[in-house]
Amino acid sequence: MDFRGAHILTVNQFQRDDVELVFQVADTMEPYAHRLRVTKALDGAILGNIFFEPSTRTRVSFGCAFNLLGGQVRETTGMESSSITKGESLYDTARVISGYSDVIVMRHPAPGSVAEFARASRVPVINGGDGANEHPSQALLDLYTIKKELQANGLTIDGMRIAMVGDLKHGRTVHSLSQLLKMYQKIHLRLISPQELRMPANIVSDLKAAGHEVTETDDMEAGLQENDTVYLTRIQEERFDSKLKADIYRGRFRLNQAIYTRHCQPNTVIMHPLPRDSRAEANELDADLDQHPNLAIFRQADNGVLIRMALFALILDISDKIKDSTKELGWYTGGRFGT
Amino acid sequence: MDFRGAHILTVNQFQRDDVELVFQVADTMEPYAHRLRVTKALDGAILGNIFFEPSTRTRVSFGCAFNLLGGQVRETTGMESSSITKGESLYDTARVISGYSDVIVMRHPAPGSVAEFARASRVPVINGGDGANEHPSQALLDLYTIKKELQANGLTIDGMRIAMVGDLKHGRTVHSLSQLLKMYQKIHLRLISPQELRMPANIVSDLKAAGHEVTETDDMEAGLQENDTVYLTRIQEERFDSKLKADIYRGRFRLNQAIYTRHCQPNTVIMHPLPRDSRAEANELDADLDQHPNLAIFRQADNGVLIRMALFALILDISDKIKDSTKELGWYTGGRFGT
Amino acid sequence: MDFRGAHILTVNQFQRDDVELVFQVADTMEPYAHRLRVTKALDGAILGNIFFEPSTRTRVSFGCAFNLLGGQVRETTGMESSSITKGESLYDTARVISGYSDVIVMRHPAPGSVAEFARASRVPVINGGDGANEHPSQALLDLYTIKKELQANGLTIDGMRIAMVGDLKHGRTVHSLSQLLKMYQKIHLRLISPQELRMPANIVSDLKAAGHEVTETDDMEAGLQENDTVYLTRIQEERFDSKLKADIYRGRFRLNQAIYTRHCQPNTVIMHPLPRDSRAEANELDADLDQHPNLAIFRQADNGVLIRMALFALILDISDKIKDSTKELGWYTGGRFGT
């Protein structure tokens, strides 16, 4: 695809080459995200960070990525209290708001709403999550993290073994990640979930059709064996009919230091899209692993900034120009980034 | 008036020369707002965007205008949850907040509140809407749009024919626009509304005293004939005693493709202050006109950025200096602005 | 202490030398805060302004301070509606959010929460208020104001006479200010409050142990005599069991023009941490003193920006570099700052 001026709405719009271009550009963003150098490539540009529902980390991650490229951010949260309640259509909102910025990130609870907004927008729109539907930058940062973590272990996405654990029925992130994995080769997937929260059948058959080996189980201990990566998820309580129904499954699939040591291979990378539920009744990923070198969950969040910088750079076609507008960073950082 | 360091509180503070100076400066803002060039004239300046009630588009439009001039924006929405509830006076709020920025835009639900705030402020204050009272930048952008649209048809504000349609009793925008029109000559106004929602009598008599020809009617079809501009408004439901009373009038005065073709002159400009109510029961301006070349409603919103840039430039006295701090725009835009 | 890369969590972490270093750097910030010159020392840096409860003036003051040094601000208010409700720990929030900025200001209703957050953060954290516990930049700006105001009268903090008035039991600001005063010499403190709202006994004994003269009284008129500074406070209604209990004390200790003239020495400086409660039933500091030259309350708020700029400059180690990145201010200010 041609990223220049494009909307980023779904992982299905990418070919493998596109994904790898995003990763390649993301790699070049490290010096800026890790506060080694400063770039002003987007000096004067404006991001419209339009959130129709709260999502602090996604909002701040996109905003930070744009600032790191030198741009300004105008944003809004909870637009539901605004013109929408006066009967304004998404078409009108898009036409007006797209006059206020050079690129838009939009999050909205209704599936399909961001694509509808994008059709009316005069500037590129990135989907920052439309309900249970899509959140493409999350899928990209997940796969980018897998690639970097495995690379350190001498492995590649092609041929890797990955377990996905938890609420695979409702988890948007594992659905989108699976879409991306279809473009790669010979992956061994273990899908570990309660029977009732299994990965949707069409995703499983698509993965198999792509030549991957997929096994499904509700036996956590068996499923954890012989993986390069374990990707844990939270019970998506907000997608259940009632909290009670969610409670049935909460806490049934947990990873902690003891289980990891007993069942996982030594170098297994631990991932989680965050937020993780650390309340005693859930605790799907125990804090006793917080200092573990293979716990990649915070590197995952950091990689989100790199991926979002890469998307902005490709859409606004500045990836080649960043070096020309670079300068030394003038303040004390303590070298704590990227750690 | 001398714009330098001045508060912008009401359209009544302007002479015709002042309005035309704003328009002239707004014209020079086009290359920056349309992302052809970047200026850093306000590099280091801070806008305090203080909204005591939500108004996403006004807030973002002002913030964007300030960013486009190179400045930073600090903002707040819903200050009612804050110091005000601890018994703080507007005087104190103004004294404190005006120490945090170079210029303030304030919106507040209470008529007169912004003027009271401005009296205590140490920096210039722009009224971003004080309840049913004033919203001067909206009136300026409306008139600026009329001027530009008519100009394309070889016409001027002097001598033009304009229909105002809908809730003329509660519509702040048509009141303020009428104030500005008093400074022009020989305008033909058709005021189309239900009897109960007529334009206030004092505004009508002021318009007549200014030498304009004013006719009032509740017959939409007759009123639409022979105008250069039709300015539609939304039923201001929030100003009615009850939703039921608003419902009586909703949907009675509609414009759509068929009505436009049957009753309006070919080049009649269609305006609306937005948001328009697109719900089936209201739908005062139908989406079947969205591709019509004379539909000016989104150009109107875009013009708001130009007008707000012009106000900042005049108040902060940088309109002559903008060119000196200009540079090429470094990213891909697709040329979609101003379209 | 070494400010470089340090968290600022409590006034107890400072020695007198540290406090005086902050004041000295704050003095150098005046030309930038008073809009005489512009600095870009933090061009490219990002502040994470993370507010778990609303506090408009503190949030905007910190954000403005960071902008005045040339940096960008990403912020959030009311994070309670976000990941926290999905069971996320402060540890996780800190690990993630600290990947998005170079320094964080955090406010949270729970005492101790900011210190907990700081332990997990990879970047320096400034406590912007953690419930009834600490708000160190407020204490520093209070003492800085006292120093500057007394200096104009030829006095110093050592040896000064100060009255603290009102709700000394719940007032976080008078507690923190007292902590700082312990590092100075031979201060005469008059603590004026109802019996039930007296300064906590341990703070009083600490002050005495530091060699200060402390007298407590519930007789406002007697207490106001012979002070260099009078520091008034609001009844902290939100810390009482009920509004009714707060009402008992509201309005019992008031200062106005008549009382000031009758009981205070001519040059007594009047301070208040703001917001002051100006409702008739409270009105602890009457508006009839608003034009009084010794009313320092708005200079106090302005000094907050200087102190916050100084903290950022010390933590990020740019205080020596600011001059090198300075330029003329290009817009009209009217010289109203610092007035």
What is the pLDDT tens value at each position of chain C, 339 positions in all?
999 999 999 999 999 999 999 999 999 999 999 999 999 999 999 999 999 988 889 999 999 999 999 999 999 887 655 566 678 899 999 999 999 999 999 999 999 999 999 999 999 999 999 988 999 999 999 999 999 999 999 999 999 999 999 999 988 999 999 999 999 999 999 999 999 999 999 999 999 999 999 999 999 999 999 999 999 998 877 777 777 677 777 777 899 999 999 999 999 999 999 999 898 888 899 999 999 999 999 999 999 999 999 999 999 999 998 988 888 899 999 866 544
| Mean pLDDT score, B168-182 | 94
| Mean pLDDT score, A311-334 | 91
| H-helix or E-strand spanning residue A149 | helix A136-152
User: For tokens 């875009």, what's the residue?
Assistant: B302
DSSP string, B179-243: HHHTTSSS-EEEEE--GGGPPPHHHHHHHHHTT-EEEEES-HHHHHTT-SEEEE----GGGSS-H
User: Is the pLDDT assigned to residue B339 strictly greater than 50?
Assistant: no
| Contact between residue C39 and residue C69 where contact means Cβ atoms under 8 Å apart | yes
- Before B109, cis peptide (omega within 30)? no
User: Is the pLDDT assigned to residue A185 strictly greater than 50?
Assistant: yes
* Closest by Cα among A35, A33, A8 to A21: A8
User: Is the pLDDT assigned to residue B294 strictly greater than 90?
Assistant: yes
Would you mind telling me the total number of residues written for chain B in this entry?
339
Q: Is B58 a catalytic residue?
A: yes
What ipTM describes this predicted complex? 0.94
Q: What is the pLDDT of residue C156?
A: 98
Q: What is the pLDDT of residue A337?
A: 52
Q: What is the dihedral of CA C193, C196, C202, C208, to 10 degrees?
A: 30
Q: Report CB contact under 8 Å: B76, C55.
A: no
Catalytic residue (one of B59, B107, B170, B272): B107
Q: What is the pLDDT of residue A339?
A: 47
Percent of chain A scoring above 70 in pLDDT: 96
Q: For residues B68 and B42, give the distance between their C-alpha atoms in angstroms, rounded to a whole number.
A: 9
Which distant-in-sequence residues (6+ apart) come within 8 Å of A311 by Cβ? A3, A8, A22, A126, A137, A140
Q: For residues C94 and C104, give the distance between their C-alpha atoms in angstroms, rounded to a whole number.
A: 10
Q: Report CB contact under 8 Å: A305, C45.
A: no
| Mean pLDDT score, A191-202 | 95
Query: Residue C336: how many CB atoms within 10 A of its CB?
Result: 16
Sheet architecture: strand order including A72-77: A72-77, A46-51, A103-108, A125-130
User: Is the pLDDT assigned to residue B303 strictly greater than 80?
Assistant: yes
Q: What is the pLDDT of residue B337?
A: 52
Beta bridge partners of residue A106, listed in sequence order: A50, A127
Catalytic residue (one of B16, B57, B119, B245): B57
Q: Report CB contact under 8 Å: A122, B67.
A: no
Q: What is the pLDDT of residues B4-15, one digit of tens each?
A: 999 999 999 999
Kindly identify which residue of chain B lies nearest to residue A102, measuring between CA atoms. Answer: B333
User: For tokens 């990209």, what's the residue?
Assistant: A140
User: Is the pLDDT assigned to residue B232 strictly greater than 80?
Assistant: yes
The dihedral region occupied by B87, where left means phi > 0, alpha psi between -120 and 50, and beta the remainder, is: left
Interface of C with B (CB under 8 A): 35, 38-40, 54-57, 59-61, 63-64, 67-68, 70, 72-73, 234, 237, 274-279, 282, 287, 290, 298, 301-302, 305, 327, 329-334, 336-337, 339
Between residues B85 and A304, which one has the greater pLDDT? A304
User: Is the pLDDT assigned to residue B95 strictly greater than 50?
Assistant: yes
Helices B16-28 and B136-152 sit at what angle, rounded to 10 degrees?
A: 70
User: For tokens 């160190």, what's the residue?
Assistant: C136
All structural domains of chain C, each given as residue ranges with its CATH number in brackets, are: 11-135+304-328 (3.40.50.1370), 137-298 (3.40.50.1370)
Q: What is the pLDDT of residues B102-112, one digit of tens each?
A: 999 999 999 99
Tell me the nearest-neighbour CA distance from A202 into chain B, angstroms.
Answer: 37
User: Is the pLDDT assigned to residue A34 strictly greater than 70?
Assistant: yes
Give the pLDDT band of residue B282 (cuts 50, 70, 90): confident
